[in-house]
Amino acid sequence: MKLLVVGSPIAHSLSPAMMTAALARADIDGTYRAIEVTAPEWDERLATWFGEGVHGMNVTVPHKERALRSALRASDTAREIGAANTLARSDGGWIAHNTDGPGFVDWIERLGARDAARREALVLGAGGGARAVVWALRRLGCARIRVSARTAERAAALEGVHAESWGSNAPAGGLVVQCTPLGLRPHDPPAASVDQLRGAALAIDLVYPDTPFLAAARDAGVRSAGGMGLLVAQAVRSFEIWTGIAPDPAVLEEAARREAGRRSAGH
């Protein structure tokens, strides 16, 4: 079984460590590789992978909306979200799925943050990750969803949300969810300041393992959670789509944290 994770940048990804562990635990003979792919390369590379017999792939920034458009057909969830983070092979082409949205719901439940999620949320960014978070917040019964993006038109394009300018303040007692790529590269600035984050019940960053945004949340005295939780939650669902087997989340998280520790130690 050939599996991939594709995006740009991709060197930071912990998915190969997780999925390799999941394949081994399930006794499946397979590989899972990370491949850097830019937007101009997308169509050609996607066709090449299909011809090579790739069974499935995870898709990360900046290709999630592109992945949905490229698929032969899509799950209801992927269509509703308007983005895909998982592609699975079929006889005629790729089938698009989105495990980010359901995975975010799973993650909020594990964090014990359902009450905060129901109150009010500020979502930073309006790309594929943000679309999945907005979908999940609706499923969780969020009373008011605000979206702040550097491009106001993108925020306004999300239905049923309050589009706001970049730099909005956190909702008192609610959630702030950081969905931009800020934090993936060294020296990225925080997506929100300490002052903007004060008063929130929980600040979540989809980027992992640690970011300037999470540091700002800690400085503001706000409970924070990095993207490792979502990484694991969406991976469990992706692996089940490809194999029919639901892996143990603890196995995936242990592999991801071990790899993160290895990199921090400079190995």
Question: What span, in angstroms and rounded, lies between the C-alpha atoms of 46 and 40?
Answer: 11
Q: For the chain, what's the residue count? A: 267
Question: What span, in angstroms and rounded, lies between the C-alpha atoms of 124 and 130?
Answer: 7
Indicate which residue of 19, 32, 60, 64 is catalytic: 64
For 11-157, where are the E strands, in sequence order? 31-36, 56-59, 73-74, 86-89, 94-97, 121-124, 145-148
Q: 182 by DSSP, 3-state: which?
A: coil
Q: Which of 60, 6, 71, 9 shows the shortest CA–CA distance to 33?
A: 6
- 64 catalytic per annotation: yes
Measured distance between the N- and C-terminal CA atoms of the chain, rounded to whole angstroms: 28
Residues 6+ apart with CB under 8 A from 265: none
Cβ distance 86 to 238 under 8 Å? yes
Cβ distance 128 to 61 under 8 Å? yes
The β-bridge partners of 3 are 32, 56
Residues annotated as catalytic are: 64
